[in-house]
Structure 1
Amino acid sequence: MNLIKMSAITALVCGLCISANADDTKAKRELKNNMMEVYNTLPSSVDNLGDAFTKGVFYGRLRMNAFKWDWKDDVAGSIQDNKAFGLGGSLIYKSAPYMGVSATAGLYYSDSPFSGLRDSVADLKYIKAGKDTFSRYDAKTNGDYYMAVLAQAYLQYDISKTTLKAGRQIFESFLTKSNDTKMIPNTFEGFVLETKEIPKTRIRGAYFYAQKLRDHTTFHDVITYSDSNSTSSPATWNGNDDSAVHKGLSFKNFEAAGKDVHHKLILADVSNKSIDNLKIDVTYAAVPDVVSSITGELNYKIALPGGYSLTPGIRYMKQMDNGGGKVGGANLGGSLVTWTGSTATYNSTKGYSTPDSLESSLGMARLVLKKGPLKAQIAYSAVSDDADIVAPWRGFPTGGYTRAMAQYNWYANTKTYDAEVAYDFGKADIIPGFSAMLRYAIQDFDEKKQAAGVQADSNVIHMDFRQKIAKGLDAKLRIGLVSADKLSSYSSTPGIDKNSYNEYRFELNYLF
């Protein structure tokens, strides 16, 4: 066992021992249904530097994740059934604020120790949802099926209602999420400034110069696909290889275009609740000289008789091309552009009328009905028939509206219809600690774009079941059932079903 692996395990065990001797009268953290962490207890301010460390707080987490992906039809060399298993946890330390200054460090560990519960190195390219239990790059290059990562490490300064953070951190926003549903969260390196000085208003700005996806042990560029070695495995697994990445925005293509391969992600958002029952959100995001977007969202809560509420919501996103279209093309698959030396040719026969442009837009609407333990929603989304939406930062553009588990419905000219219902049986005093969610989505993709790799039309059933077993311990079962059409004559493999599958996920979490 090497030093890194041993150190990570030792830190987790020490954290567990500290927790066992601590006052356990109140849960320090809780998990939302999307596995985002909510801190109930934070260190109090101190008046000397020594107490800043001795009165800090440790937060521990042990977790297990198991995955099974069952394709309806395996396709030799393309798709095959796959599985994965992860066991590990995290130890986060927050120092007590001294003169407004504090620090946070988060060590995360994941291991896939049982060969019978994971796929072999030879089959790494086939792994879907379970790939985030280990690093494919490390498994391919070193045979390592574990990850030990200092994913959070930042300084924080608070004054009045303003906070500045610098370093490795989680940033939950419209386009950037921790998406902590596997073993290790998605985090960023950079600076975040947040202020709530204006009543009922939150304003934030972020400048990120690196990102670490959930299945990576090192930080990498925020958008460049693959690294400097090549555009094939395992180099593709050492850059931004998110499932929603734009593969045309690769190291190879940026270099051929004479562009910088190192990029920054700039975000700014405003959230306002000045008008009763109305929430207004505006987000700006940009990778300079590549792509940018501005998004507006309105949600208005209407009180109904009998304790019900109805909230109509709309979201509109406008994506602007700042040079990325000429580099990588309009399609996320990157198949619309071919570079020969420093000259690019663009393919207009794969369903995209402007194959060298990332100009696009996305509109959504929803109705949310709530009462006590019940939440029901219907939603619709539509992408303009221009370019695909670029968003490889684990914040999903259709999230909260029409996105179902493991689905990417922001390709150009895609329309999605969604209905879902969630019920908290514990809150209703029916089954203690139990909650469930059922979603049904109809995804209407553009058949002509199958030539560029866009999937076939599909119907999705997505179910979540969560059970709180004991204080700090809960289990969650997720099921995705996808029934898709066979690929059309526009595809390079017509008549084949490459999009129907059943997916099963099971996880255990213990917070201490």
Structure 2
Amino acid sequence: MKKNYLSLTLALMSFLTVSNASTLQDTLSNGKISGTLQAYYFARDKNSGTDNDILTLGLDISYESAEYNGFGFKTTFQSASSPWVDEDGKAGRKSNMWGSGAQLSEAFISYTYIKTSAQIGRMYFSSPLLSGSGSRVNKEAFQGFVITNSNIPDTVVTLAYMNKFQSRTDGKGNIGEFTKNFKTAAAPWSFKLDDGAYTVSIVNKSLENLTLTAAYVDAIDAFKATYLEAAYNFLNYSISTQYYNSKEEGKESGNLFGLQGTASFGPLNFTASYTTTGDDADVLPGLGNGADLAYTWSEAFAYQYAANQDSAKILAKYKINEAAYVSVAYLEEDGKDYKKGYTDLVAGYKFSGSLKGLDLKVAYEIGSKDAKDDELRVRLNYKF
């Protein structure tokens, strides 16, 4: 399981080139190029320490071939630069925003046959307990293979094994590389996995308006985690429940239970969420910062996975028109010896006409009670 998947990908490409030269040429020429230009500005007012801010610029370029006899190929280069960052910004953002350079983050062969698809190589990947985050300029990626099958009616089964992980940065000012160190969205924040990790997930929609999700991940010799969720929609309402269980090697099990309800009235949406964790250990929600599904999230600082914590959140979102929205949310975390409050103010806008493809999101989080810091996050993306 310790094969070099990129080398295998290139070998398969060579085989296809020799075997189907003329057809492969058509397949490649009929492929598509896409990309994203990004400008993200984050600024933190730290009553608990030193203020910091950073502007990071990014460019992603992807090429995806047309399909031939079920085979396909995709590559993505992502690059980033923070040309005006100061020393405080470097110190405060070295793990997620200060990471200049370029990386081949996707390079995989895909194959589809009837209701089964497979990918092998470097890729962006998302499942409940193994998922890269795209919330920063530098996206997280994995190296390994994925098999997805939908032979069972209204059911999707996904099996994946990953032996390397690309983090957002290397912690030293450079874009992340593919290594054995896998990040997580909870303490201790990373694990070195010499033998990688595998996950399986099942999503079933056989009952009308009901979605059932079950997932399992084994971060080999580090921890194991299980995730269950049931979500039911009716009229303009929805209700869902979630459960996490995780166990790090040599430690107690951690667990989280969550409830969430939503109601929509025309352009106005309301959401109420609640999560509670067990007393014995923090919950490990999976591998990759995208494996972060607890309902009581916030735009910046909330930490839903601490042991012995109750969290409650209310959110109201107003859709001004097809292009614009605003929202406000309040979240409170009640822990063993603290009580933290977070207020989120968010606005988003999608441009049209000559600026089609450009979207802007502005989020401002205000800490209260035992939460001391405030954060502004501005994200500008142009997709082409």
Same fold (TM over 0.5): yes
In the alignment, is residue 218 of structure 1 matched against residue 177 of structure 2?
Answer: yes
Match of 2:34 among 55, 59, 64: 59
In structure 1, what is the Cα distance between the partners aligned to 2:266 and 2:108?
38
Change (3 A) 1:442 1:424: same
In 1, the alpha carbon distance for the partners of 2:230 and 2:309 equals 22
CA deviation map 1:228-281 (0-9, x unaligned): xxxxxxxxxxxx4x563416x766xxxxxxxxx613121110001101111100
Distance 1:392-1:245 versus aligned 2 partners, 3 A rule: farther
Residue 186 of structure 2 aligns to which amino acid in structure 1? Answer: A
Q: Given that residues 397 and 410 in structure 1 are in contact (C-alpha distance below 8 angstroms), is that contact kept between their aligned partners in structure 2?
A: no
> Structure 1 residue 109: deviation in Å?
0.8
Q: What is the Cα deviation at residue 511 of structure 1?
A: 0.8
| 1:190 and 2:140 correspond | no
The answer to whether 1:440 aligns with 2:330 is yes
Structure 1 partner of 2:68? 98
Distance in 2, Cα, partners of 1:473 & 1:109: 19
Mapping of 1:54-453 within 5 angstroms? 54-74=29-49, 80-114=50-84, 118-120=85-87, 124-125=90-91, 127-128=92-93, 131-135=95-99, 146-215=100-169, 216-223=175-182, 240=183, 244-246=186-188, 262-303=194-235, 309-321=236-248, 324-325=249-250, 357-390=251-284, 391-399=286-294, 401-406=295-300, 407-427=302-322, 433-447=323-337
Q: 1:175 to 1:422 in 2, by over 3 A?
A: farther
2:98 partner amino acid: F
> Contact 2:185–2:291 at 8 Å: present in 1 too?
no
SS of the aligned residue for 1:409 comes to: coil
Measured in 1, the distance between the counterparts of 2:32 and 2:177 equals 26
In 1, the alpha carbon distance for the partners of 2:82 and 2:163 equals 30
Aligned partners of 1:416 and 1:191: how far apart in 2? 36
2:282 maps to amino acid: D
The aligned length equals 353
Q: Is the Cα contact below 8 Å between 2:254 and 2:281 reproduced in 1?
A: yes
More helix by share: 1
Deviation per residue, 1:5-37 (Å, 9 max, x gap): xxxxxxxxxxxxxxxxxxxxxxxxxxxxxxxxx
- The alignment partner of 2:26 has SS state of helix
Opposite residue 37 of structure 2, the aligned amino acid is L
Aligned match for 2:375, one of 493, 500, 503 = 503
Counterpart of 2:25 in 1: which secondary structure? helix
State the shift of 1:446 in Å. Answer: 1.4
3-state SS, counterpart of residue 178 of structure 2: coil
Cα drift, residue 371 of structure 1: 4.2
Instruction: Give the C-alpha shift of residue 106 in structure 1.
Output: 0.3
Q: In the aligned structure 2, how far is the partner of 1:284 from the partner of 1:199?
A: 21
Equivalent residue number for residue 356 of structure 2: 471
CA distance in 1, matches of 2:160, 2:273: 30
- Mapped partners of 1:439, 1:398: distance in 2: 17
User: Residues 245, 209 of structure 1: CA spacing in aligned structure 2 closer, same or farther, 3 A cutoff?
Assistant: farther
- 1:134 deviates by 2.7
Q: How far apart, CA to CA, are the structure 2 residues paired with 1:372 and 1:205?
A: 39
Larger strand proportion of the pair: 2
Alignment partners' CA distance in 2, 1:123 and 1:92: 30
SS of 1:52's partner is helix
The TM-score normalised by the length of structure 1 is 0.66
User: Which residue identity is paired with 2:373?
Assistant: Y
Where in structure 2 are there 5+ consecutive unaligned residues? 1-21, 170-174
Unaligned runs of 5+ in 1: 1-46, 75-79, 136-145, 224-239, 252-260, 304-308, 326-356, 428-432, 448-455, 486-498
Q: CA, structure 1 residues 380+423, in 2 after alignment: closer, same or farther (shift >3 Å)?
A: same
Is residue 260–residue 271 contact of structure 2 (8 Å, CA) maintained in 1? yes
8 Å CA contact 1:362, 1:383 repeated in 2: yes
Relative to 1, partners in 2 of residues 1:156 and 1:458: Cα closer, same or farther, differing over 3 Å? same
Q: Percent identity?
A: 24
Q: Deviations over 1:367-404 (max 9, x none)?
A: 111244332110110110011112451134444x1111
Distance change (3 Å), C-alpha of 1:123 and 1:97: closer
Are the equivalent residues in 2 in contact too, given 1:84–1:131 (CA < 8 A)?
A: no
Rounded to whole Å, the distance in 1 between the matches of 2:247 and 2:131 is 21
Aligned residue for 1:403, secondary structure, equals coil
**In the aligned structure 1, how far is the partner of 2:334 from the partner of 2:357?**
41
Cα distance change of structure 1 residues 250 and 265 upon mapping to structure 2, 3 Å threshold? closer
Please say which structure displays the higher CA radius of gyration.
1
The 1-side partners of 2:383 and 2:98 are apart by 21
CA positional deviation for 1:195: 1.1
